Amino acid sequence: MQTPALSSYDVVIVGGAIYGSSVAWWLTQMAGFDGKVLVIERDPTYTFASTSHTNSCIRQQFSNATNISVSQFGAKFIHNFRDFMGGSDEVPHLTLQSYGYMYLADTPEFAASLKEAQAVQQSLGAATRHMTRDEIAADYPFYQLDDVMGANHNLVDEGYFDGGTMFDWFKRAARANGVEYIHNTVKAMTRVGSTVQSVTLADGTEVKCGTVVNASGPRAVATAKMAGLDIPVAPRKRYTFIFDAAQPLDRDLPLTIDPSGVHMRSEGKYYLAGCPPDDDPDVAYDDFAFDHSLWESKVWPAIASRIPQFEAIKVINEWVGHYAYNTLDQNALLGGAQECPNFIFVNGFSGHGLQQSPAMGRGIAELIAYGEYRSLDLSAFDVNRASRGERFLEKAVI
C-alpha cells in the first residue's frame, strides 16, 4: 500500500482504470484548472478490471443521438490520438479497423427498429446503411440468412481498436502532467451535510478532498455507499471466446450481432465471440468463475447456424469479465448527486465504457473544472434520473 504525498487534494478519484485515468488526464487538459489530483487504485495490475477484459470495439450504431455523438468523438480521438496526447513521436498511432457492426434482424419489428436507428445515425453523419437480405448475401455470402429480414451495417469508424494502448497512455500522460497515482483502497468517507470532506484509506490515512469521483466500475455501489449514496449498478458476467476455424472466411467478419444474443467478429487470423449467459444475475465483485457449458449450449450452435463454414471451429482462449451493469437502463450515470454535489459519478456503462471513455472522461473533467459540460452536452446521462425512475432511452444495447 502507498501513502499519498499530500494530505489534501482538489480531486480524489476512486479507481484508476479507464475512467479514473481518462478523467484524470482530461483534467490536466482543462484550461485554467491547476488543482491537485489523486487517483487511488486498489489493484494496480488491473487484473480483474473491466478495462482488462474489454473487446475494444467502437460503434456509432446507437438509437440515441447523444450516444452516437459520444462515439463519433471517440472515433475522432482514436484517429488523432497522437495529437490529443501532445504530438510526441513516443505516442503511438491508434488504428481503427473498420469492419463495422452488422445488426441482423429476424422479425419485421426489429427490422423497422433498425431502419429508424439508421435514419437517426445518418442525420448525424454516420455512414450506416440499412441492408436487405439480398444485399447482405451479396457482400457477405457466408451468412445463412433464411430467418433474416434485414440488417444495419457501417464500414466507417466502426470496429476494433487497441483499447489497452489508449488506457496505458491515459495513465502515463496523466502522471507526466502531475496526477498522483497510489496503490491503496478507500475504506470510508467522511460526509458532513451535503459534502464529502475526506476519504479514509485502508491504512488509516485520511485525505481531504474538494471533489470525489466514483470511477469504481462494477464496484460503484460499494464506493457510493461510503458517502451514504446509492446507484443501480451491479457486476454482471460477460463471456469471451477466441476461436480458430478449419475453414476461415475469405474476408473480414463484421462484428455480427446475431438475434440469438451471440456476437462474433474477426480477431486477426482468429475470431472472437461473446455473449451474456441466459441466466444473467448480479454477481459478487470477486466472482469470475467460468461457465464452460456456455460454449456448447449457446455460443457454438449460434455461430455454426449463422455461418455454416464455422461448423468446425476450436476454442483457443476464453475469459469472463464484469460489466458495470446499470440495472435501470444500461447507460451511463454521470455527474454530481443532488444530495451531495461534490460526489461525482462516472459509472454504469454496461459494456459501452471503453469506446465512450474519451468523450465521457472529457465531460466529467469539464464538469469538475467549470461546473458544466462544454464540448458535448451529457446532461441526459444525469445520475439523478435513477432516483426519479427516469430511463435513458437506448434501443441498441448489446
Query: Tens digit of pLDDT for each residue in 89-115?
Result: 999 999 999 999 999 999 999 999 999
For 195-208, the pLDDT digits (tens) are 999 999 999 999 99
Q: What is the pLDDT of residue 288?
A: 96
Q: What is the pLDDT of residue 397?
A: 80
Give φ, ψ of 362 to 5 degrees. Answer: -60, -45
* Average pLDDT, integer, range 336-341: 97
State which H helix or E strand residue 346 sits in.
strand 340-347
30 exposed, middle or buried (CB, 10 Å; 0-12, 13-18, 19+)? middle
Q: What is the pLDDT of residue 378?
A: 98
How do 195-201 and 206-214 pair as beta strands? antiparallel
Task: Read off the pLDDT band of 139 (50, 70, 90).
Answer: very high
Q: In Å, what is the CA distance from 1 to each residue of 4, 40, 43?
A: 10, 10, 10
189 exposed, middle or buried (CB, 10 Å; 0-12, 13-18, 19+)? buried
pLDDT at 341 over 90: yes
| CA-closest candidate to residue 43, choices 214, 215, 185 | 185
d(CA 316, CA 241) in angstroms, rounded, equals 8
Task: Read off the pLDDT band of 393 (50, 70, 90).
Answer: confident
Sign of CA dihedral 176, 27, 364, 378: negative
Q: What is the pLDDT of residue 54?
A: 87
C-alpha cell at 209: 478532498
Q: What is the pLDDT of residue 41?
A: 98
Which DSSP letter does residue 194 get?
A: T
| CA-closest candidate to residue 347, choices 328, 360, 334, 364 | 334
How do 150-153 and 101-105 pair as beta strands? antiparallel
pLDDT at 190 over 90: yes
Q: In Å, what is the CA distance from 17 to each residue of 40, 216, 303?
A: 10, 8, 32
pLDDT at 398 over 80: no
* Average pLDDT, integer, range 306-326: 97
Q: Taking all residues of the chain, what is their mean pLDDT, rounded to a whole number?
A: 96
Helix 353-370 and helix 65-79: axis angle, to 10°? 100
Q: What is the pLDDT of residue 77?
A: 98
pTM value is: 0.96
| Cβ neighbours of residue 219 closer than 8 Å, sequence gap 6 or more | 15, 235, 285
State which H helix or E strand residue 25 sits in.
helix 18-27
